[in-house]
Amino acid sequence: MPDLFDKCDEFWARMKKVGGDQFDAGISTFFRKFPTTNCLPNIMIDGEEFLQIATNDYLGLATHPEIVKATTEVAAVHGLGTPLGARPLTGNTQAHVELERELAEFRGTEASLVFNLGLGAMSGTVACLVGRKERVFVDAYAHGCLHDGARLSKGDASWFGHNDLDDLEHQLKQCPIDQPKMIAVDGVYGMTGDLAPLVELVELKNKYNARLFVDDAHGTGVLGDHGRGTPELFGVEDEIDLHGGTFAKAFGTFGGYVCGPKQVLDYVKHVSPGFMLTKALPGAIVAGTRKSLELMQKMPERRQQLWINLDTLREGLRAAGFNLGNPQGAVTSIFTRGITALQAVRLLHDEHKIIVNPVMYPAVPYGTSIVRITASALHTPDHMNRLVDAIVQVSRQLPLLEGNVAVAHRDSA
């Protein structure tokens, strides 16, 4: 008789099939223990020093003294978790209102809405805006929260091939021109590092009377002359209907947000369970995030240093023969087969004292894995060169380079 837990056995059977004899050793790489301050270039684990190139603190702001000071001052007076309550109840403070005003000003939109999670911001907004007899089209590689929002909505959801404009247009053509519809994409894709073709997406959304929602979690603070992300880079900020993002990457704090028309966000504010029924972002985090937003705009040198590091890293890996695809954000990925990425990350950790991240199915297609590298403004070109040298040495022990080329060839076929 089928059992609710059968799916768990089936999942682990698939995973072990991919991993083979190396599965048990490889899987232990997940859920490694890190110190609380895990985003500095050099961190100590069990008395040993490691080079860390694995967190999303792209601008190195998470430990900035001014942000720490702003956060701890509020926590010292008001406590860590306060205000205790959802925003419509006792959770709405002047600091929350000011952060939303400052975010809207930064984005050049009428309003913004701050959530306690990026996941809640994306999934909650999509789910409540796409109603019955309406459509939402989501890029296949978009963040899982956009996929979740599409599935939770009362409308019809469909998915188009990653950055496949022909596929998207084919699906749009099947809808009546007057049927309300949304296109939901990432600005920068978190696994591959490539960008959404926003100029062409704007053309399609105008042609087919759709709204465009861009989750720019990985682009904000990293791209554009002023760090406003992928829409600024492409010069289409005013054409994006909803700008989404998280504070848990370049801001170095916690939470999520959506920017857009005031009346639309007022609707989300009153309708979305992801906003209405969840506790407000703690005041200490709000204070730190406001300071982070200020510094992000005042310190362009952080963004410049990040790009010096990224260019050094990618030039070195390509010169060594690795196919990186076309990363244009802060994420650099080496694709390979099976669980080779898990084994590679383990060797980098054990033999070279370098921390990067492994990514496996279901985050990437079955039978593949990724060595995912995320540099920050606190790193140096010397750090990047050390990592490149270590990856080259690991590739002599594992079929890392061979698998990378094979997967790249398959994906481009």
pLDDT digits (tens, 9 = 90+) for 7-54: 999 988 887 887 677 677 667 777 778 888 888 999 999 999 999 999
Question: pLDDT tier at 288 (50, 70, 90 boundaries)?
Answer: very high
For residues 335-353, average pLDDT: 90
For residues 314-334, average pLDDT: 94
281 and 194, same structural domain?
Answer: yes
364 and 283, same structural domain?
Answer: no
3, part of any domain = no
Predicted pLDDT of residue 413 = 40
The two three-digit tokens of residue 68, written as one number: 């720490």
Predicted pLDDT of residue 20 = 72
304, part of any domain = yes
For residues 294-306, average pLDDT: 97
1, part of any domain = no
139, part of any domain = yes
Predicted pLDDT of residue 231 = 97
pLDDT digits (tens, 9 = 90+) for 241-266: 999 999 999 999 999 999 999 999 99
For residues 354-375, average pLDDT: 88
Q: Buried b / exposed e across 280-306, counting CB within 10 Å, b at 16+?
A: bbbbbbbbbbbbbbebbeebeebbebb
314 and 273, same structural domain?
Answer: no
Q: How many domains does the chain have?
A: 2
For residues 198-224, average pLDDT: 97
94 and 42, same structural domain?
Answer: no
Q: Please state, for a pLDDT cut of 90, what percent of the chain lies above it.
A: 78
379 and 238, same structural domain?
Answer: no
What CATH number has the domain bearing residue 258?
Answer: 3.40.640.10
For residues 344-371, average pLDDT: 89
Cis peptide before 362 (omega within 30 of 0): yes
Question: pLDDT tier at 412 (50, 70, 90 boundaries)?
Answer: very low
Q: Please state, for a pLDDT cut of 70, what percent of the chain lies above it.
A: 97
Statement: residue 384 has pLDDT above 90:
yes
Mean pLDDT of the chain: 92
pTM: predicted TM-score of the whole model, two decimal places: 0.92
Statement: residue 408 has pLDDT above 70:
no
4, part of any domain = no
Predicted pLDDT of residue 17 = 80
What CATH number has the domain bearing residue 51?
Answer: 3.90.1150.10
From 283, 298, 313, give the residue that closes a domain.
Answer: 298
Statement: residue 132 has pLDDT above 60:
yes
Statement: residue 409 has pLDDT above 60:
no
For residues 370-385, average pLDDT: 97
How many other C-beta atoms can be found within 10 angstroms of the C-beta atom of residue 270? Answer: 11
292 and 364, same structural domain?
Answer: no
2, part of any domain = no
H-helix or E-strand containing 371? strand 368-374
155 and 275, same structural domain?
Answer: yes
- Who has greater pLDDT, 385 or 325? 385
155 and 49, same structural domain?
Answer: no
Statement: residue 190 has pLDDT above 70:
yes
d(CA 127, CA 312): 41
235, part of any domain = yes
Statement: residue 109 has pLDDT above 60:
yes
From 239, 264, 298, give the residue that closes a domain.
Answer: 298
6, part of any domain = no
The domain of 237 spans: 65-298
How many other C-beta atoms can be found within 10 angstroms of the C-beta atom of residue 76? Answer: 10
88 and 232, same structural domain?
Answer: yes
Residue 135 · residue 175 · CB < 8 Å: yes
310 and 286, same structural domain?
Answer: no
314 and 243, same structural domain?
Answer: no
Cis peptide before 83 (omega within 30 of 0): yes
| End-to-end C-alpha distance for the chain, whole angstroms | 43
88 and 174, same structural domain?
Answer: yes
Statement: residue 214 has pLDDT above 90:
yes
